Amino acid sequence: MAEYRTLDEITAARDRLETTMDGYVRPAAWGLGVATRGPSGAILDVSYPAPDLGGNSFMASLLASVTGYRSGTATFALGADQLDSVLELIEPPGADDLANLQSARAIRTMLDLPDPAGGTRVAVVAYLGALADEPVDAIDSYLRLHLLSTRLVAPHGVDLTGVFGKLTNCVWTNLGPFEVEGFELRRIELRAQGEIVQVNGLDKFPRMTDYVIPSGVRIANANRVRLGAHLAEGTTVMHEGFCNFNAGTLGASMVEGRISAGVVVGDGSDVGGGASIMGTLSGGGTEVISVGTNCLIGANGGIGISLGDNCIVEAGLYLTAGTRVIAPDGTVVKAKALSGHHNLLYRRNSQTGAVEAVVRGDASSWQGLNADLHKN
């Protein structure tokens, strides 16, 4: 079997290999991962150490030749012997700098380790023919969540239609995911062996930090950030802050409240303590709420409309789409009519109780985030 030892050799070999696979089309994204399969056979989770946007790597082509992948969106399980044959083929200098190869070696080692949950570990590979393709199974879905949390795609940058139905509800522990059925018996067996089992949650989505650690980010309570959250460099999520999947920040932001699924928060914005932003999971799931740059949602406030840039919602004011607002020109409109407008301060008149939208001046009381707090 030929070995390829330089990057030029690898590139040339990739090109030759792709031409021999009739109908092969490079995927939009792909990943080699290790899955946990529960005793029932269900996929409990998948970890992708080096998800890849674009399919121009030799590893993607090699795995396609082994699995039979040619195009479109599909997933495959790999036997240990198949993974061994791929690893034996690539041995370039500086191989430890190649994330795909390094992660493949780690995955191969994990296949030989016992699973404390009583299941098995299996190597898997997922290909996305297009980011707009719908998920086909849990293996595919986990790749999409990794693409978001590694910041390879922004929220709404990959299709997540039906993802809830693809994932398994798991008992998430310090030893990894367990199936709900039979967990209590397995826990007492592990305790008898001296193992301490700490339950972190009971959910379909794990916490992000067990799979992805984004650079330049602070998260005070890891339990409050789901895998699939997108946190940009400079973001700080405080103890009561929360970020759901397919949602997050696009720049340095302070998250002290709730960023619901589908919500995008712009650079320099602050979601205040106890504040909430309506997401896309309830109702039709099509209305996307966004917060522009340099905005503040005050403590215990909230929005059901989008904010443009440089906007403030005063503390305690929850602004739904149907809230009657006195606009800057004096007319009374539903808040939805002002969705996305810039430079507005939303407040409740302390004398009349009416909700007002006034144009923010240069002397506004809030001038943006404390830069020192976001040097992460």
Each residue of 205-261: pLDDT tens digit? 999 999 999 999 999 999 999 999 999 999 999 999 999 999 999 999 999 999 999
Tell me how far apart the 2 most distant CA atoms of the chain are, in Å.
83
Catalytic positions, written as ranges = 256
Q: For the residues of 250-287, what is the DSSP string, one character each?
A: SSS-EESSEE-TT-EE-TT-EE-TT-EE--SSSTTS-P
| Domains of the chain, each with CATH number or no CATH | 7-203 (3.30.70.2010), 208-374 (2.160.10.10)
Residue range 88-130, pLDDT digits in tens? 877 654 444 467 888 898 999 999 888 888 889 999 999 999 9
Give the whole-angstrom CA distance, residue 33 versus residue 43: 12
Instruction: Let me know: does 339 contact 327? Beta carbons within 8 Å.
Output: no
**Structure-token match 């999520």, residue found:** 237
Reference 127, options 137, 117, 112; nearest CA is: 137
List, in sequence order, the alpha helices (H) in 51-162. 58-67, 80-89, 99-110, 138-149
pTM for the model: 0.91
Where is pLDDT greater, at 168 or 62?
168
Instruction: Identify the DSSP state of 312.
Output: E
Query: Environment class of residue 163 by beta-carbon count within 10 Å: exposed (0-12), middle (13-18) or buried (19+)?
Result: buried
Element (H, E) at 191: helix 183-192
